[in-house]
């Protein structure tokens, strides 16, 4: 069974011959649903395996090329910048994001030379998009290095996040001043649950300590004291008879 199998390439020809010749007599052979499509767009007849396009220059030190028929991995600069950002700021993944666009051309209305804050894109909606695009703009237009552009963008990002936190804190203080009540925060709820689990652990730890102490005390060796105390004492008459028997010749 070695070699290349060419039977699948002759499926169209085989079915055509079967439909043209009435083998079953009066019974008609049903036409497959793909027959007309393959007649209009027949498959390629070449058996030569083409080499995939090379997006990167081959290794000059390699004496024998490898994986020449395997497609190369497509990489983008945005992916590397986004990975670096989320590696340094993992909690940004916990923030809700908005990926919905009105017409799919929101990026055409952005001017990244003015900073991270754009008129059509909220800062908290898709922050990694703004950070990556701002960093790429600095690298392409300001000719900054990757690390330098990342530091500049990160400084702008921290400043905007600080402004948001201050606005939220001031809004909460103003609302409380006029009588608003927000209840317990998530931190308070977490502290309550943590205290409850700690109290349960203290009860369990006390019982476990008592059990270990009782087991340790029961395993102390008594050096045969129990056997000596448990031996029956001889009666006085038997002791006297034994003494007389020893004195008699």
**225, pLDDT greater than 60:** no
**200, pLDDT greater than 90:** yes
Q: DSSP class of residue 82?
A: H
| Neighbour-count burial for 88-113, b at 16+ CB within 10 Å, e otherwise | ebeebeeeeeeeeeeeeeeeeebebe
Round to whole Å and give the CA distance between 135 and 115. 10
Q: DSSP class of residue 9?
A: G
Please give the structure tokens belonging to residue 111.
């001017």
Q: What is the pLDDT of residues 154-173, one digit of tens each?
A: 999 999 999 989 999 999 89
pLDDT given at position 184: 84
pLDDT given at position 191: 93
Count of CB atoms within 10 A of residue 175's CB? Answer: 12
Q: What is the pLDDT of residues 66-120, one digit of tens each?
A: 777 777 788 889 999 999 999 999 988 888 877 777 777 777 788 888 888 887 6
Helix (H, G, I), strand (E, B) or coil at 101: coil
Round to whole Å and give the CA distance between 145 and 85. 16
Q: Judge whether 92 and 128 are in contact, CB under 8 Å.
A: yes
Q: Judge whether 99 and 126 are in contact, CB under 8 Å.
A: yes
Q: DSSP class of residue 87?
A: H
Q: Judge whether 134 and 156 are in contact, CB under 8 Å.
A: yes
Round to whole Å and give the CA distance between 128 and 86. 8
Q: What is the pLDDT of residues 142-159, one digit of tens each?
A: 999 999 999 999 999 999
Q: Judge whether 152 and 144 are in contact, CB under 8 Å.
A: yes
Count of CB atoms within 10 A of residue 149's CB? Answer: 20
pLDDT given at position 196: 94
């Amino acid at each position: 069974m070695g070699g290349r199998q060419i039977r699948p390439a002759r499926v169209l020809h085989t079915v055509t011959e079967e439909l043209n010749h009435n083998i079953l007599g009066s019974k008609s052979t049903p036409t497959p649903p793909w027959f007309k499509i393959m007649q209009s767009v027949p498959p390629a007849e070449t058996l030569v395996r083409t080499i995939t396009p090379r997006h990167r220059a081959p290794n000059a030190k390699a004496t024998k090329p490898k994986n020449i028929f395997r497609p190369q991995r497509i990489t983008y600069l945005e992916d590397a910048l986004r990975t670096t950002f989320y590696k340094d700021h993992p909690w940004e993944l916990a923030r809700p994001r908005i990926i919905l666009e009105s017409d799919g051309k929101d990026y055409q209305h952005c001017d990244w030379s003015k900073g991270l804050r754009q008129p059509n894109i909220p800062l908290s909606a898709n922050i990694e998009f703004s950070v990556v695009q701002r960093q790429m703009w600095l690298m392409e237009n300001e000719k900054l290095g990757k690390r330098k552009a990342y530091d500049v963008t990160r400084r702008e990002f921290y400043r905007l996040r600080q402004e948001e936190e201050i606005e939220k804190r001031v809004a909460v203080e103003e609302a409380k001043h006029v009588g608003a009540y927000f209840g317990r925060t998530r931190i308070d709820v977490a502290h309550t649950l943590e205290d409850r689990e700690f109290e349960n652990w203290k009860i369990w730890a006390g019982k476990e300590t008592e059990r270990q102490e009782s087991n340790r005390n029961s395993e102390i060796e008594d050096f045969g004291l129990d056997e000596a105390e448990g031996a029956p004492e001889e009666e006085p008459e038997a002791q006297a008879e034994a003494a007389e028997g020893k004195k008699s010749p």
